[in-house]
A and B are shown apart, each in its own frame.
Chain A
Amino acid sequence: MSAAPPLYGLLAEFDRPEDLLAAAHRAHDEGYRRMDAYTPFPVEGLAEAIGFQRNRLPLLVLIGGIAGALVGFLTQYWAAVIDYPINVGGRPFNSWPSFIPVTFEVTILFAALTAVLGMLALNRLPMPYHPLFNAPRFALATRNRFFLCIEAADPRFDRDGTRRFLEGLTAREVTEVAH
């Protein structure tokens, strides 16, 4: 690092999702790993292009659903069989078919909560401050522009070399993002 102000990374702006996708592939081929792409809507294949592979959310949701099923059923079992058994017309205390609707609803509830909270947690949201918001044009990432940011933390990052690389792509503009 030179004496220049601390840098978060270099941000390249593109007009079209196809250009960004191609640029992301090029950057990955070039050996860059600490980077991310920012788009106003989901672009298919982009996460894979920047080298994102493991999505643990489905597993978490499955675990959440199973936990919900267990909590739902066992709570009813505890109430109806152990803690407060009532003889209803001679039916068995563990009248499990009538426990299914509540078990089902609690399963869905837990799985849905895990899906949302899990997505937020894995995405590290809420995060009110992020260096990228320092870049004035980054506001367009939620409107009509597509961005690729190669972070200064990447071992292959070089202020001038990386800038030349990004400018060689079809970027409209390459800007520095302050930390």
Chain B
Amino acid sequence: MELNGSGTSRPPHGEPPIIGPGYTYASVTDKISVFVLSGETPRGWFIGFALAFLLFMGLLYFVAYTVLVGLGVWGINVPIGWGFAIINFVWWIGIGHAGTLISAILLLLRQHWRTSINRFAEAMTLFAVSCAGLFPLLHMGRPWFAYWMLPYPNTMGIWPQTRSPLVWDVFAVSTYATVSLLFWYVGLIPDLGTLRDRAKSRLGQVGYGMLAMGWRGSAQHWHRYETAYLLLAGLATPLVISVHSVVSFDFATSLIPGWHTTIFPPYFVAGAIFSGFAMVLTLTIPIRTVFRLEDFITARHLRNMANIMLATGLIVGYGYLMEAFMAWYGGNRYEGDMLLNRLTGPYAPLFWSLLLCNILVPQLLWSERVKASVPALFVISIIVNIGMWLERFIIVVTSLHRDFLPSAWGMYSPTGVDWGLLIGSIGLFLSLLFLFIRFLPMISIFEMRTLLPTPEKAHAPLGPRAPSPAAGD
């Protein structure tokens, strides 16, 4: 099968296309499915997976160590009871949000460019939520009692306290994980059918055949399928906003200075999308280069993601500003002292680095030249990832370490086990991503087909508003 591998050329006017020229239904199908179905796995995949898996083994070691010895091996102490576990939890769950935004909200807004990145971003959501879920479970100290958080009739005769935001979190995060999985799997079904029909090996035919559940692309099936997909998008949209709002309630419904503020829910959601898009960029940039997907994940995709990052970054900046303004304007001396402590206290260097990473550096994205430069976007996205992690560190630690009475003040520093768990969770995330890339189509094949013109006109120049054979992708 010959492919037209030429790069994307910008048409004389209008926006650049969202798919390279010269593709047909067949070539799109082959180009995406070849990574999964070709017998040989590139050497780079083995090296990458081995490194990620090594980190994942580290995670298992540190989890086992924590569970066997107890939470005393972490850096948490009496004033700072939340430490890395909650920082990492909020960071990971925020990263997941971009996937749902791309798959659900951009679908409802008919942003067709989302098609080539949506499968990948959804997978990222799923894996990020898996990493996130790990931390509160471990933070409980006795994770084998985790099921006590669920409402079920039990011999103790008690129920979870559903007036508590921590219990809301259990419901929000587990619903989010379930709906993300459903959304991702439903999106995969037609492509699993493609893999079943294209697989050469018996194992592939049977394996993908089982997963595809007998999908045969019937018009009636497609009709219900599209309805289900649209409804899922409509359900996932308020869900994703509720999840990070509920996460922010963990903080906002408390009385701790710096947490007790009404701006937290919207500002957490914006921060989540901000960090999530940073992670999507961090991951797609190497992948499109390694797998030569520049025709599918074009300069326009990177530019659009950079724009969303810039916009949500500005909302986050507004959040910081309002937090500080209300601390001053509210006239509460504990809030005021908390602000002063953030700006000048022992953790001030981290606070200023976070402003540098999250507010100052993303301003480079105003420049079209920066947005056109792939290496620059990659570096900025990593800086934003670090910045958003620092933001959660500042929120959790600076508020807890000095609250109302100086006699109860303390300091927090993470231990090696804390770092091991954070780095190990990145290993888990990357291991799952490597497996996903190898065994499932990382771009939605059937949705990519809908972006193509009909076969006879396949070689005509393709503009962004090229007639699409189907409307409801």
Contact = CB atoms under 8 A, between A and B. Distances in A.
Interface string A99-131: 101101110110111011011101101111110
B347 interface: no
A65 to B, nearest CB: 8
A52 B29 CA distance: 28
Contact of B214 (A61, A126, A144): A126
A112 B190 contact: no
B178 A36 contact: no
B219 A112 contact: no
B228 interface: yes
Most interface-central of B25, B190, B231 (chain A CB within 10 A): B231
Interface string A28-70: 0000000011111111101101101001011001000000000
B162 A76 contact: yes
A125 B215 contact: yes
Interface string A133-169: 1000011111110000000000000000000000000
A42 to B, nearest CB: 4
Contacts of A178: none
Contacts of B172: 101, 105
Contact of B159 (A44, A80, A88, A106): A80
Given A98-B162, A109-B179, A144-B25, A38 B235 contact: no
Nearest to B160: A79
Contacts of B165: 101
Interface residues of A, number: 66
A79 B151 contact: yes
B214 A41 contact: no
B162 A79 contact: yes
A176 to B, nearest CB: 17
Interface stretch (B131-139, B330-338, B428-436, B447-455): B447-455
A128 B215 CA distance: 8
Interface residues of B, number: 69
A41 B216 contact: no
A58 B228 CA distance: 8
A86 B158 CA distance: 11
Interface in B412-449: 446-447, 449
Nearest to B221: A123
A118 B186 CA distance: 12
Interface string B159-196: 11111010110011001001100110110001001101
B459 interface: no
Contacts of B450: 41-42
Nearest to B253: A98
Interface stretch (B5-13, B238-246, B287-295): B238-246
Interface stretch (B71-79, B255-263, B379-387, B464-472): B464-472
B472 A44 contact: yes
B242 A101 contact: yes
A106 B175 contact: yes
Given A41-B447, A101-B246, A111-B231, A36 B219 contact: yes
B308 interface: no
A79 to B, nearest CB: 4
Contacts of A115: 182, 228, 231-232, 235
B469 A41 contact: yes
B167 A142 contact: no
Contact of B218 (A38, A86, A99, A101): A38
A116 B472 contact: no
Contacts of A39: 217, 219, 222
Nearest to A18: B454
B182 A142 contact: no
Given A43-B470, A143-B29, A112 B178 contact: yes
B385 to A, nearest CB: 28
Most interface-central of A44, A50, A88 (chain B CB within 10 A): A44
B193 A42 contact: no
Contacts of A41: 190, 222, 446-447, 449-450, 469-470, 473
Interface in B190-244: 190, 193-194, 196-198, 209-210, 213-228, 231-232, 235-236, 238-239, 242
Contact of A84 (B158, B197, B238, B446): B158
Given A40-B446, A112-B235, A128 B209 contact: yes
Contacts of A179: none
B456 interface: yes
A17 interface: yes
A102 B246 CA distance: 10
Given A44-B470, A112-B235, A143-B25, A105 B175 contact: yes
A47 B220 contact: yes
B219 A102 contact: no
Given A38-B216, A79-B162, A80-B159, A112 B182 contact: yes
Contacts of B471: 44
A128 B162 contact: no
Contacts of B171: 101-102, 105-106
Contacts of B198: 139, 142-143
B280 to A, nearest CB: 23
B228 A57 contact: yes
B26 interface: yes
Most interface-central of A40, A42, A43, A55 (chain B CB within 10 A): A42
B197 A142 contact: yes
Contacts of A86: 161
A47 B218 CA distance: 9
B118 interface: no
6 contacts: A40-B446, A47-B223, A105-B246, A113-B182, A119-B224, A128-B210
Given A41-B469, A105-B175, A109-B178, 13 more contacts: A16-B454, A16-B455, A37-B219, A39-B219, A40-B217, A43-B469, A50-B219, A55-B223, A58-B227, A80-B159, A105-B172, A111-B231, A123-B224
A-B complex: 9 closest residue pairs judged by Cβ atoms: A126-B213, A144-B25, A79-B159, A119-B228, A47-B223, A127-B214, A139-B197, A37-B219, A42-B222
